[in-house]
C-alpha cells in the first residue's frame, strides 16, 4: 500500500500514533472487504475552513464537516501500476471537537472517520437506513478488530 499523509493545518498536532492508527484502519478495511493492500490512498488533515470550502465546492454544503471522501475510478490498470483508491480529507479541528463531545480520544475519532471514509471509497453509502446499517456494522467491525473502543482515553 502506498499511503500519503498530508498535514495541511496547524490547529491540532497529529502525532505518529494517530498516523499509525490511520494506516492500521485502512489496511483492516481492505482486509475486511477481501481486497489486497495494493492501493494508493491519500489522507489529508485540514482545518475547518479548508474542509468547509471543499464541502461547498463538491457537495454544495457551506459548512465544515468532519470527513470527505473522494473515490477514484481508474478504468485502465497497467501491469505494475498501483491503482488509486481515493482521497480522504479529515478536519483535524472537527475531529478534536467530536472526540471531546463524544468522550473519547482524538486517535479513536480519527480512526473512526478513516474507517467511515474508506467504506465510501469502496462504494458504500448511507443514504437509506439499510445502507446506513450495513456501513455502520462494517465500521464497528474494523474498530473491534483493531481493539479501538469508544472508552479508549489515549
| DSSP assigned state of 81 | P
Q: How far apart are CA 4 and CA 22, in angstroms?
A: 11
Cα 78 versus chain centre, distance: 27
CA angle 105, 92, 149 (to 5 degrees): 25
126 labeled binding residue: yes
Cell numbers for 104, please give them. 473519547
Radius of gyration from C-alpha coordinates of the chain? 15
Pick out the residues of the known binding site.
116, 120, 126
List the binding residues for Zn(2+). Answer: 116, 120, 126
Amino acid at each position: 500500500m502506498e499511503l500519503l499523509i498530508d498535514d495541511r493545518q496547524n490547529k491540532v498536532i497529529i502525532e505518529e500514533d494517530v498516523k499509525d492508527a490511520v494506516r492500521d484502519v485502512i489496511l483492516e478495511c481492505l482486509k475486511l472487504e477481501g481486497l489486497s493492500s495494493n492501493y494508493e490512498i491519500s489522507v489529508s488533515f485540514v482545518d475547518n475552513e479548508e474542509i468547509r470550502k471543499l464541502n461547498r465546492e463538491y457537495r454544495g454544503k457551506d459548512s465544515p464537516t468532519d470527513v470527505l471522501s473522494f473515490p477514484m475510478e481508474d478504468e485502465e490498470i497497467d501491469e505494475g501500476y498501483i491503482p488509486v483508491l481515493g482521497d480522504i480529507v479529515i478536519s483535524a479541528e472537527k475531529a478534536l471537537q467530536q472526540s471531546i463531545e463524544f468522550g473519547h480520544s482524538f486517535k479513536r475519532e480519527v480512526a473512526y472517520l478513516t474507517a467511515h471514509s474508506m467504506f465510501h471509497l469502496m462504494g458504500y453509502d448511507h443514504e437509506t437506513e439499510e445502507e446506513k446499517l450495513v456501513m455502520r456494522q462494517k465500521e464497528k467491525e474494523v474498530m473491534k478488530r483493531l481493539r479501538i473502543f469508544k472508552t479508549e482515553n489515549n
